[in-house]
Amino acid sequence: MLSPALTTWRAQYERLARSYARVIGAYDSSIEYDDDLQHYFQDCWSLKDWIKNDPASGASAQIEPEVSQHRALRIAADLANGSKHLARHTHREGAYVTAVHVTVHLAQGKPVDVVHVVELQDGTVLTAQTLVHEAFQAWSSVLQKLGLKP
């Protein structure tokens, strides 16, 4: 069982913030980056459930409609659920990673560059890297609107 300090929506937000900080940093391994990106989207989408299930948040009823207004969070939901369950039972934007481009820099000390191409059911093509930032900003907006301060 987790200690009470680890079971609040704020604790999940802090996990999300740490995931965000990791995934926007430099990487020497595309595999480690893939792992961290997958965890980021899972942490991102899980925050909704933590707020919904934490009575101290005071936002249980408002969180679902508020989150559904942000396309980046709906896409994060598709990517998180697809990575957790291999196949999604429901989808919001029909988001799938359709390609991964890795550039390895041969100069010592240079990181690898990894770009995940995400395609939506409407044909829109985005990068996961752009979505990382958009989803994190969307959470900032949601939390501010609901009066929740991380």
pLDDT beyond 80 at 87: no
- Residue 94 has what DSSP assignment? -
Residue owning tokens 């969307």: 138
Once rounded to an integer, what is the mean pLDDT over residues 80-92?
65
Share of the chain above pLDDT 90, in %: 71
Residue 95 pLDDT: 84
The CA distances from residue 96 to 84, 91, 123, 150, in Å, are 13, 10, 11, 30
Q: Which of 20, 23, 33 is nearest to 114 (CA)?
A: 33
Once rounded to an integer, what is the mean pLDDT over residues 71-97?
77
Residue 7 pLDDT: 83
Instruction: Determine contact, residues 92/121, Cβ cutoff 8 Å.
Output: no
Residue 92 pLDDT: 75
Distance CA 32, CA 34 (A): 5
Residue 90 pLDDT: 60
Distance CA 96, CA 66 (A): 23
Residue 3 pLDDT: 55
Under the banding of pLDDT at 50, 70 and 90, the label for residue 94 is confident
Under the banding of pLDDT at 50, 70 and 90, the label for residue 6 is low
Once rounded to an integer, what is the mean pLDDT over residues 64-76?
96
